[in-house]
Copies of this chain bind each other. A is one copy, B any other.
């Protein structure tokens, strides 16, 4: 028979078993951390009606979208988890309690030009808090705590949550008489990290039509740096001139004030006036998160406060705050940087049971007992040479191999080999279980991500 060459589409991540286990660990950390903060899991369809998904319309989104017809239906694959959330909240409004806190970890689709490290199918891991009409500022203050908890649980220490407030920027631009152009200006300023201050200045003058003085004033403003206290005190000098600015400064003060009660160390947090987030819909606090040793990766967790989640579907005012982690890209980059902890077990099983008797019943019963004790157990019964069986355990990285021969059965003991140390013990089942449990606890002690 003619064979078809098997292949996976370019831009689609398909992991081998070992990295897949690392990815699963990362997802488990996200699920459990988000749950600790009272977010409920949600799962929405990957396919939506194009009309619903593209209600906002326009932009790069529409070009990149996977859109097709099936029968009479015009369908699209979701390109983020925010639009489906907006639809969900508008659709189920009467059945939800607000504030509505949900997390969703799911695949989204964008038909970008394929290139290294760019994916067309990728996981986003989002949390959002949606209020009904109003949403208290404390929710914005809590977000850095969630980011901090998430990344430290993943194993990172050297990261910084950079925070700003769009009202401060909008108020500042209003003071300069630049309200009309604030959107363009923020998009330009957002490029500061990438293109530098000099080029930003050129863009502000040439593209945004600012005077040289206005551009300088803006660059002076966004150059305000230092400790959180320094920045807040420098901002205080602009206070009293614009209501929006003052509101934003008040919010930022609240966010900073509660940091320590939320358990976020000062060194993992920075007020950063250059952060604007390119998206127009953010209206309050905005967040970016960078790895201090890998600024080239850009932000690994971003988001902010918005005033109206679902305006295309409902008259209800639904303000919210949310953040998103581009999980597939993050995983890829961590792998590239060698930052995934290779010491954590990635084997499909903790124990490989190798029967040494013709009747398999005792070895099967032993496997059943190990599983009953919560030990992930594989029974190996293929007709192979002993060496091949050991190689199999080795190749998969299974930490323990258990042998059961006539001797062991007669004495009601099992022989257990630690594949890493080579140490072999012959103990009762309980003794063996204890040894295995202690060994597994030690092996599982580390975090998924290792900083060098």
A positions within 8 Å CB-CB of B: 1, 3-9, 12-17, 20-21, 23-24, 35-49, 51-52, 55, 66, 68-71, 73, 75, 86-88, 90-92, 95-97, 99, 101-102, 107, 109, 111, 121, 131, 134-136, 138-139, 142, 145, 149, 257-258, 261-263, 310-315, 347-349, 352, 360-362, 364-365, 368, 371-372, 374-379, 381-383, 392, 395-396
Partner of A47, one of B41, B97, B121, B375: B121
Ranked nearest first, the 5 interchain pairs of A and B with the lowest CB-CB distance are A38-B378, A68-B68, A38-B349, A40-B348, A261-B364
CB of A305, distance to nearest CB on chain B (Å)? 15
Q: What residue of chain B has the Cβ atom nearest to residue A133's Cβ?
A: B382
Partner of A135, one of B55, B313, B365, B382: B382
How distant is the Cα of A281 from the Cα of B115 in the complex, in angstroms? 39
How distant is the Cα of A138 from the Cα of B382 in the complex, in angstroms? 9
Chain B residues, Cβ within 8 Å of A49: 7, 9
**Are A52 and B6 in contact (CB-based, < 8 A)?**
yes
**Are A360 and B17 in contact (CB-based, < 8 A)?**
no
Partner of A134, one of B42, B378, B383: B383
How distant is the Cα of A21 from the Cα of B35 in the complex, in angstroms? 11
Chain B residues, Cβ within 8 Å of A396: 97
Chain B residues, Cβ within 8 Å of A257: 361
How distant is the Cα of A13 from the Cα of B42 in the complex, in angstroms? 11
Q: What residue of chain B has the Cβ atom nearest to residue A66's Cβ?
A: B70
CB of A32, distance to nearest CB on chain B (Å)? 9
